Amino acid sequence: MTRVSLLVRLVLVLRKIGHRFVDRLWRLGAGARLFWLTLVSSGESFKRPWLVIREVYFTGVLSLIIILVSAFFVGMVLGLQGYNTLQRYGSSEAIGVLVALALVRELGPVVTALLFAGRAGTAITAEIGLMKATEQLSAMEMMAVSPVARVIAPRFWAGVISMPILAVLFSMVGILGGYMVAVPLIGVDAGAFWSQMQANVDWRDDIVNGVIKSVVFGVACTIIALFEGYDAPPTAEGVSRATTRTVVTSSLAVLGLDFVLTSFMITV
Amino acid sequence: MERTTIDLWVGIFVALGVAALLGLAMKVGNLTTSDIGETYTVTANFENIGGLKSRAPVKSAGVVVGRVGGIKFDPASFEAVVSLNIDRRYQFPHDTFANIYTAGLLGEQYIALEPGGDETNLKNGDKIAQTQDAVVLEKMISQFLYNKASETKEAAPAPTKSKAAESTETGDDALGSNPLDKLTAPAK
């Protein structure tokens, strides 16, 4: 009796795992299909750039404030913490290198992508989910207007354009924040701060690699947000769940992709 | 919102992004210092380059005059062949000395050129004949320890037979030419 119930429970657990796995796999495939469809039908976004510009305003310009403020604070904290450790080894002038490399290589792209997922990704998901719930997308299809070309693709390209710009701004403002803490507040020499930074930050290996990372994150975050919205059940609950999933999936995707990209970029 | 306002904001946004990228390139990165204009290439062979890397600076009198272009291993002579890209504005005599030094105690390694007195200058594709290898810290430490050890051995009273023989020989010598005798002799 107990053995049978144990077996049944085991089967149930296995079935649940299998169902989840298949579901994830299905979503991955559907997301990839949407990505492909977006790329194929993005001709209209280039023919009518106004569609993209409008979305750049909503995803990029409106995210500026949160990105810049957090960048400044991240830079200041890096400056303080870095100084605290570096001065133990008598190399507090290297604070500029530490702040710049940390921001340009990692924190700039990654933190921007995480904030972008929270600020712009959720907005995209909720907007498209609601469009679907209120049957605007179906109405478009009825009028022989492809919703992928008219709604999805402009938002995709806007995200891909906005993310590197935001990441570069994040790095720059973060370095200014680090400068504000290190030079006027702590009293590190300004010349040493900039010259050590310039001597050790490489254009190709550090800055360009950071921009490449942010472009990849832009593609990932935007397509995840778009897919979750497009795939959301057309109910209030469905949209709210899709919004949550956007943040969770984007964040995990960004962190995972970051490791993969870094391991490719850092050749030991 | 008005279309023109959105256009303006997006324009500002993109311009800010481009400005930040330029700022990163010029103020943070080494894009400005890396282009040293027209260069000519000379090579130098080293038995040991230590931690020298390509793109390391080539300095003369402390001023950066070029960069390390590439580092290869020569399987025939078992030496490292380092090619140096030197700015065309700076000419060096043919008997220039190339040393590998370290900036600071644990800093990056660079090549220092010490010009000789030759009339002819180095040309593109020439080879610097006189080189000095990088100082390897472990080698230096082991040499130091070895020297210390032998010093203490000499100070100690003859621990081995051969050492004892040596010391007696040198002892005779020392007796024959005792500096104290010499000092006191003329005074008499």
Per-residue pLDDT reduced to its tens digit, A216-267: 999 999 999 999 999 999 999 999 999 999 999 999 999 999 999 999 988 7
pLDDT for the residue B159:
52
pLDDT beyond 70 at B65: yes
State how far the Cα of A101 lies from the Cα of A109, in Å rounded to an integer: 12
pLDDT beyond 50 at B173: no
Q: With an 8 Å Cβ cutoff, are A198 and B21 in contact?
A: no
Whether residue B161 is contained in a domain is answered as no
pLDDT for the residue B185:
47
- Give the number of other CB atoms < 10 A from CB of residue A241: 16
Partner A contacted by B103 (CB < 8 A): no
pLDDT beyond 60 at B179: no
Whether residue B175 is contained in a domain is answered as no
Q: List the domain range (segments joined by +) for residue B56.
A: 30-139
What is residue A146's three-state secondary structure?
coil
pLDDT for the residue A15:
94
A contacts of B29 (beta carbons < 8 Å): 198, 201-203, 206-207
**B79 bridge partner residues:** B74
Distance (Å) from the alpha carbon of A165 to chain B's nearest alpha carbon: 5
Give backbone dihedrals phi and psi of B177, rounded to 5 degrees, phi first: -120, 60
Whether residue B146 is contained in a domain is answered as no
pLDDT beyond 60 at B186: no
For the segment A184-206, the average pLDDT, to the nearest whole number, is 85
Question: Within 13 Å of residue A231, how many CA atoms lie on the same side as its CB?
Answer: 23
Q: With an 8 Å Cβ cutoff, are B21 and A206 in contact?
A: no
B132: its two tokens: 């000095």
Distance (Å) from the alpha carbon of B149 to chain A's nearest alpha carbon: 31
State how far the Cα of A49 lies from the Cα of B179, in Å rounded to an integer: 97
Distance (Å) from the alpha carbon of B156 to chain A's nearest alpha carbon: 40
* Beta-carbon contacts of residue A153 (< 8 Å; ≥ 6 apart): A38, A41, A42, A44, A45
B67 neighbors B85 (Cβ within 8 angstroms): yes
Of A37-51, A143-157, B11-25, B39-53, the poorest mean pLDDT is in: B39-53
Q: With an 8 Å Cβ cutoff, are A171 and B20 in contact?
A: yes
Whether residue B7 is contained in a domain is answered as no
pLDDT for the residue B171:
46
The residue of B24, B26, B109, B110 whose CB has the most chain A CBs within 10 angstroms, and thus the best one to mutate to test that interface, is B24
pLDDT for the residue A107:
94
pLDDT beyond 90 at B128: no
State how far the alpha carbon of A158 is from the alpha carbons of A3, A44, A146, A219, in Å. Answer: 58, 13, 18, 10
What letter represents residue B116's amino acid?
G
pLDDT category, B36, cuts 50, 70, 90?
low
DSSP label of A88: G
Name the residue facing B10 among A61, A198, A201 (closest C-beta): A61
pLDDT beyond 90 at A11: yes
Partner B contacted by A214 (CB < 8 A): no
Higher pLDDT, A121 or B180: A121
What would the pLDDT profile of A70-94 be if each residue is shown by its tens digit? Answer: 999 999 999 999 999 988 887 888 8
The residue of A51, A101, A169 whose CB has the most chain B CBs within 10 angstroms, and thus the best one to mutate to test that interface, is A169
**Which of the listed ranges A87-101, A127-141, B114-128 does the model predict with the highest average pLDDT?**
A127-141
Whether residue B15 is contained in a domain is answered as no
Split into its structural domains, chain B has a count of 1
Cα torsion B62, B65, B69, B70 to 10°: value is -30
State how far the Cα of B58 lies from the Cα of B110, in Å rounded to an integer: 6
Partner B contacted by A104 (CB < 8 A): yes
Q: With an 8 Å Cβ cutoff, are A172 and B31 in contact?
A: no
pLDDT for the residue A208:
92
pLDDT for the residue B172:
47
**B97 bridge partner residues:** B114, B130
Distance (Å) from the alpha carbon of A34 to chain B's nearest alpha carbon: 27
pLDDT beyond 70 at B71: yes
| B94 CB burial (10 A radius; 0-12, 13-18, 19+) | middle
Question: Within 13 Å of residue A70, how many CA atoms lie on the same side as its CB?
Answer: 20
DSSP H or E segment with residue A160 = helix A153-180
Q: With an 8 Å Cβ cutoff, are B29 and A206 in contact?
A: yes
Partner A contacted by B137 (CB < 8 A): no
Q: With an 8 Å Cβ cutoff, are A197 and B17 in contact?
A: no
Strand order in the sheet with B39-46: B127-128, B39-46, B79-87, B63-74, B57-60, B109-114, B97-102, B130-132
With a pLDDT cut of 70, the percent of chain A lying above it is: 99
- Cα A161 → chain centroid: 12
Q: With an 8 Å Cβ cutoff, are B24 and A172 in contact?
A: yes
Please give the interface size between A and B, counted as residue pairs whose CB atoms are below 8 Å apart. Answer: 75
For the segment A99-107, the average pLDDT, to the nearest whole number, is 93
pLDDT for the residue B52:
82
Question: Within 13 Å of residue A257, how many CA atoms lie on the same side as its CB?
Answer: 21
Give backbone dihedrals phi and psi of B120, rounded to 5 degrees, phi first: -85, 150
Q: Which residue in A210, A192, A168 sits closest to B24, CA to CA? A: A168
- Cα B154 → chain centroid: 34
A231 neighbors A128 (Cβ within 8 angstroms): no
A contacts of B25 (beta carbons < 8 Å): 203, 207
Q: With an 8 Å Cβ cutoff, are A199 and B14 in contact?
A: no
B100 neighbors B49 (Cβ within 8 angstroms): yes
DSSP label of B93: B
A contacts of B21 (beta carbons < 8 Å): 168, 207, 211
Whether residue B98 is contained in a domain is answered as yes
A103 neighbors A82 (Cβ within 8 angstroms): no
pLDDT beyond 90 at B132: no
* Beta-carbon contacts of residue A74 (< 8 Å; ≥ 6 apart): A103, A107, A111, A170, A174, A177
| B101 CB burial (10 A radius; 0-12, 13-18, 19+) | middle
- Give the number of other CB atoms < 10 A from CB of residue A133: 16
The residue of B2, B9, B10 whose CB has the most chain A CBs within 10 angstroms, and thus the best one to mutate to test that interface, is B10
For the segment A186-208, the average pLDDT, to the nearest whole number, is 85
Q: What is the largest CA-CA distance in chain B?
A: 114
pLDDT category, A151, cuts 50, 70, 90?
very high
Cα torsion A184, A186, A191, A194 to 10°: value is -90
pLDDT beyond 80 at B147: yes
The residue of B4, B18, B21, B28 whose CB has the most chain A CBs within 10 angstroms, and thus the best one to mutate to test that interface, is B28
Whether residue B95 is contained in a domain is answered as yes
Length of chain B: 188
